[in-house]
């Protein structure tokens, strides 16, 4: 007797088209950060590594390859951001830029965009330390 199983549901990573979507999302996000007087000083002068880390992390989080953990180990978001002054103003600025990036980046359904916004709000709240 042959047993047939349903294919697994697509991951968000697959649904949005994989890495290229996350690269576009993070490019749009950093466009906002680059001109933000509050957030920009928290980032290194050269944003190349920050972009790669964020693309890899988000891709992995949403069901893609484990490139982030393979390079950096467990994400430990709170620990990795503890030395930055993340107060309510920084949280709001970060969420503003990420929200704008989600709106500007084609390739995600409205349902996925809402899910991402919920995740980013939760993560930003978790990083508050001031």
Question: Could you tell me if residue 9 is inside a domain?
Answer: no
Listed in sequence order, the residues at least 6 apart from 40 whose beta carbon sits closer than 8 Å to its beta carbon are 33, 34
Taking alpha carbons only, the member of 127, 68, 67, 123 closest to residue 98 is 123
What pLDDT does 7 receive?
75
Question: Could you tell me if residue 2 is inside a domain?
Answer: no
pLDDT in tens, 44-67: 999 999 999 999 999 999 999 999
Helix (H) or strand (E) holding 50: helix 48-61
Question: Could you tell me if residue 5 is inside a domain?
Answer: no
Question: Could you tell me if residue 4 is inside a domain?
Answer: no
- 28, with CB counted inside 10 A (0-12, 13-18, 19+), is middle
Question: Could you tell me if residue 11 is inside a domain?
Answer: no
In the DSSP assignment, the letter for residue 9 is P
Number of domains in the chain: 1
Listed in sequence order, the residues at least 6 apart from 103 whose beta carbon sits closer than 8 Å to its beta carbon are 113
**Percent of the chain clearing pLDDT 70 (strictly above):** 97
Q: pLDDT class for 15, splitting at 50, 70, 90?
A: very high
Q: pLDDT class for 1, splitting at 50, 70, 90?
A: low
Q: pLDDT class for 6, splitting at 50, 70, 90?
A: confident
pLDDT in tens, 76-86: 989 999 999 99
**Percent of the chain clearing pLDDT 90 (strictly above):** 88
Mean pLDDT of 97-104: 98
Q: Tell me, what CATH number does 100's domain have?
A: 1.10.490.10
pLDDT in tens, 27-45: 999 999 999 999 999 999 9
Question: Could you tell me if residue 86 is inside a domain?
Answer: yes
What pLDDT does 71 receive?
95
User: Domain range holding 26?
Assistant: 16-126
């Amino acid at each position: 007797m042959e047993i047939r199983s349903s294919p697994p549901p697509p991951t968000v990573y697959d649904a949005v088209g994989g890495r290229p979507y996350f690269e576009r999302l993070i490019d749009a996000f950093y466009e906002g950060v680059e001109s933000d007087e509050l957030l920009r000083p928290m980032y290194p002068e050269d944003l190349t590594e920050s972009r790669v880390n964020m693309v890899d992390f988000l891709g992995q989080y949403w069901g893609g390859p484990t490139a982030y953990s393979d390079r950096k180990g467990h994400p430990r978001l709170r620990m990795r951001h503890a030395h930055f002054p993340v107060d309510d103003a920084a949280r709001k600025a970060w969420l503003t830029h990420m929200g704008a990036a989600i709106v500007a980046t084609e390739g995600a359904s409205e349902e996925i965009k809402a899910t991402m916004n919920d995740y980013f709000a939760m993560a930003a709240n978790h990083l508050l330390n001031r």
